[in-house]
Amino acid sequence: MCGIFAYVGGRKDAISLVRDGLKQLEYRGYDSWGIAYPKNEIALLKEVGHIPDKILEEPSSLALGHTRWATHGGVTRLNAHPHLSSNKKIAVAHNGIIENFEQVVSKYDLDMKTKTDSEVIPLLIEYFLEQSYSFEESVRRSLQELEGTFAIVAISSAHKELIVARLGSPLIIGETKDGFFVSSDIPALLGHTKKVLVLNDGEMAILSGSLELKNFYENVSLDPSFIEIDWDVSTAEKSGYKHFMLKEIMEQPKTILDTLQGRIKDHQPLLPELEGINPKRIIIIACGTSWHAGIVGEFLLEGLAKIPVEVEYASEFRYRDPLVEKDTLVVAISQSGETADTLAALREAKKKGAKVLSICNVMESTIARESDIVLYTRAGPEMGVASTKAFITQLTLLYLITAHYASKNKTLSVRQVQDMCDDVLSLPRYIEQVLDEKGQIEEIAKEYFESRNALFLGRGIHYPIALEGALKLKEISYIHAEGYPAAEMKHGPIALIDVNMPSIFIATRDTHTYEKVLSNMQEVRARGGKIIALATSGDRRVTELADHIISLPRTRYALSPFLVTIPLQLFAYYIADLRDCNIDKPRNLAKSVTVE
């Protein structure tokens, strides 16, 4: 969603630094952009649409920029950030929502020109400046008036400072020898520095040649604690691939190994974070792709570790007054760690006394910071809006957590747990084999890229992967796709089957529902439907029923969801590419969904 990038320091190319930073934030999704920098008044560049490759060059050592994903007010140049005060001497970029902006406008009699909630901030700062407060104090007093969520960056044409603040929306400061960068996320900073300070809620920083950190409610100074990020800058670049999505699909063997690093020892799971946590019940909360990972987790944890599990849409969990007993562990899964629905559900769970374990990819993200225990997926920055490598690493952690509790609860023998650990270490090799066959999947995509609808069908532990296959296809290719447990097809969706409707079946031999899936394939075939089947290599029975086969290496049940995921990601990717879609930045979507 919206992104902020800003610079203050010794360099004179602040405008192009900020433009480049905004380009790095493009993957989050946006519909307009803007940059502000001080002159006599504030100079402003802003437009609806894409950030241009070339931008006005004017020397400046201070600039702030914003990419907007519209919430309040339409997609117009006027509503694009940064917003200015009435005298055009203050500029503010804002992420989040100011819930009480109407009350503030009437309390201070402010003259709003745009349809955004954000404009209230520069107007309020101007109001306090006119009462003879300093710039810093005017910003601080303004922040105290605001309710809702925000990350803000403010500049004034009369001061060589950048003032930033956070309440509920992420904001990161990066330190270099030439000055400070400010960004909504870490990947955009990696080209400049790995030394970052993640602002906490209620904190503001005054940045010029130095940094001063404060709590803006109490006006007390704080010690900044910078951390070193271990992500590599190349992970946030395309490295010769046409799209981030393809690069990230291809990276999956490596990301699985990164996730497992140091977490298996002597053929046993090593998750010290879980010591002393012995849940009687687990509730998994997540959204979108992470929710699909959660359902795979349900099959693994219930089936192998024998712990009752429920998987809830985070957005529903929060509002239905759920029962959370003592000894319930709530597991929040989120790639970004900033998803507003998941964060709100996590807070609700904590309010009800649950311990929260989060599975996150982004270090120091809000969900990670508010959880009792965090397991990082270590997928590296995921730049494609469609989640691929983050999903596979979520599955990897859920698999390891299962092995941990299966060992602890003695629901599997020592030997079986050892097999689980050995198997997952060999998984990257199998995934490489599937990736090597990507040309074959591209050929199949060529036959179906003009389809208008598609069904994804699988049973048992493959059912969430069918849902994920459908989500991948619809979000990047805009083809309407539905995922179903295969048996449910005959309770409605079968009415849609005809020669124009491809069904993608997950029909590998590694689950006990294999025979049943074959029957479901017969039902589609009998109605003239086209079938693409994911089958275990050498399976003649599936070959006879399907129009196209994607062969997969034979594997064990618990690893099967990993393997079947890969061809579905590639299928969605090639279809979207053939349709010439904006794969890394699909329309209307945002990488990190920070509104409820």
Nearer to ligand M6R, 61 or 290 (CB): 290
Which range in 223-231, 380-388, 512-520, 572-580 contacts ligand M6R by CB under 6 A? Answer: 380-388
Determine the Cα–Cα distance for residues 424 and 133; give it in Å rounded to an integer.
Answer: 61
Determine the Cα–Cα distance for residues 337 and 265; give it in Å rounded to an integer.
Answer: 28
The residue within the footprint of ligand M6R, chosen from 289, 358, 508, 511 (CB under 6 A), is 289
Min CB(442)–ligand M6R separation in Å: 20
Task: Give 37's strand partners.
Answer: 43
Contact between 335 and ligand M6R (CB under 6 A)? yes
CA distances from residue 332 to 135, 176, 373, 464 in whole angstroms, order as listed? 40, 34, 10, 17
Nearer to ligand M6R, 82 or 586 (CB): 586
DSSP track, 473-528: HHHHH--EEEEEEGGGGGGTGGGG-STT-EEEEE--TTSTTHHHHHHHHHHHHHTT
Which range in 56-64, 281-289, 456-464, 555-563 contacts ligand M6R by CB under 6 A? Answer: 281-289
The residue within the footprint of ligand M6R, chosen from 79, 235, 366, 387 (CB under 6 A), is 387
The residue within the footprint of ligand M6R, chosen from 29, 288, 322, 469 (CB under 6 A), is 288
Give me 183's structure tokens. 């960004």
Min CB(399)–ligand M6R separation in Å: 18
Q: What are phi and psi of 392, to 5 degrees?
A: -65, -35
Nearest 5°: the CA angle 503, 509, 513 is: 75
Nearer to ligand M6R, 287 or 466 (CB): 287
Determine the Cα–Cα distance for residues 438 and 443; give it in Å rounded to an integer.
Answer: 9
Contact between 593 and ligand M6R (CB under 6 A)? yes
Q: Which of 537, 565, 563 is nearest to 550 (CA)?
A: 537
Strands 83-84 and 90-98 turn out to be antiparallel
Render the burial of 398-431: b for 16+ CB within 10 Å, e for the rest: bbbbbbbbbbbeebbeeeebbbbbebbeebbebb
Nearer to ligand M6R, 339 or 396 (CB): 339
Min CB(314)–ligand M6R separation in Å: 8
Contact between 385 and ligand M6R (CB under 6 A)? yes
Nearer to ligand M6R, 174 or 586 (CB): 586
Give me 188's structure tokens. 């955009």
Min CB(476)–ligand M6R separation in Å: 8
Number of amino acids touching ligand M6R (CB under 6 A): 16
Contact between 342 and ligand M6R (CB under 6 A)? yes
Contact between 17 and ligand M6R (CB under 6 A)? no
Which range in 202-210, 318-326, 330-338, 569-577 contacts ligand M6R by CB under 6 A? Answer: 330-338
Nearer to ligand M6R, 280 or 587 (CB): 587
Determine the Cα–Cα distance for residues 550 and 578; give it in Å rounded to an integer.
Answer: 19
Nearest 5°: the CA angle 350, 352, 354 is: 55
Min CB(230)–ligand M6R separation in Å: 20
CB 421 within 8 A of CB 284: no
Tell me which residues are annotated as active site: 2, 591
Contact between 565 and ligand M6R (CB under 6 A)? no
Determine the Cα–Cα distance for residues 496 and 480; give it in Å rounded to an integer.
Answer: 12
Nearer to ligand M6R, 390 or 535 (CB): 390
Nearer to ligand M6R, 377 or 555 (CB): 377
CB 578 within 8 A of CB 446: yes
Determine the Cα–Cα distance for residues 531 and 499; give it in Å rounded to an integer.
Answer: 10
Which range in 25-33, 128-136, 283-291, 305-313 contacts ligand M6R by CB under 6 A? Answer: 283-291
Contact between 116 and ligand M6R (CB under 6 A)? no
Strands 172-176 and 211-215 turn out to be unpaired
Min CB(386)–ligand M6R separation in Å: 4
Which range in 40-48, 273-281, 385-393, 483-491 contacts ligand M6R by CB under 6 A? Answer: 385-393
CB 183 within 8 A of CB 5: yes
Min CB(336)–ligand M6R separation in Å: 3
What 3-state DSSP class applies to 140? helix
Contact between 290 and ligand M6R (CB under 6 A)? yes
- Which residue is nearest to ligand M6R, using beta carbons? 288
Min CB(481)–ligand M6R separation in Å: 13
Min CB(367)–ligand M6R separation in Å: 8
Nearer to ligand M6R, 75 or 589 (CB): 589
Q: Which of residues 463-502 bind ligand M6R (CB under 6 A)?
A: 475
Which residues sit at the interface with ligand M6R, rule CB under 6 A?
Answer: 287-290, 334-336, 339, 342, 385-387, 475, 589, 592-593
